[in-house]
Structure 1
Amino acid sequence: MEDTIGIIVAPIVIFLIFVAPIWLILHYRSKKQMNQGLTQDEYATLQDLADRAEKMADRINTLESILDAEAPQWRNKV
């Protein structure tokens, strides 16, 4: 009976001493970062990526219209 209790108690004690504090610290640190929102640099990067994506979409539309005019069956070749 005492061996069984020792087998159960030892991992629980190790967990509570080492794992649980680190887990709680990392958990609340990530929650704090999520609540702060985007930094100015992150927002600028996000805006730059959105602008690039919009330009790329315009280029794709232009290329598709050129292909439609010059090779109308290009969509069927996929």
Structure 2
Amino acid sequence: MIPLVVVTGIFVVFPVLLFRHFAQRNAGKSQTSNGDAVGKDLIDLADRMEKRIDTLERLLDVEAPGWRERHHEQH
């Protein structure tokens, strides 16, 4: 009986535990690299939005002088 448990442990349980360990480790690495890419994309998006807002504010300054004062009075 003991040899059957030992053989099962060596050839079934141990490889399954190793597989799960390495699978979890690899999943953690891919999430970190994916998170870095998402972070860079968000920073790029924020920079583009900031440039667009600056452009819109400059256009409004020309087209509707005093819009800032009117807008701040409402809030």
Q: TM-score, normalised by structure 1?
A: 0.50
**2:53 counterpart of 1:60:** yes
**2:63 counterpart of 1:70:** yes
C-alpha distance in structure 2 between counterparts of 1:60 and 1:66, whole Å: 10
C-alpha distance in structure 2 between counterparts of 1:54 and 1:76, whole Å: 26
Percent identical among aligned pairs is 45
C-alpha distance in structure 2 between counterparts of 1:67 and 1:54, whole Å: 20
Number of equivalenced pairs = 42
Gaps in structure 1 of 5+ consecutive residues: 1-35
C-alpha distance in structure 2 between counterparts of 1:47 and 1:76, whole Å: 35
Q: Letter of the 2:68 partner, please give it.
A: R
Gaps in structure 2 of 5+ consecutive residues: 1-28
Q: TM-score, normalised by structure 2?
A: 0.52
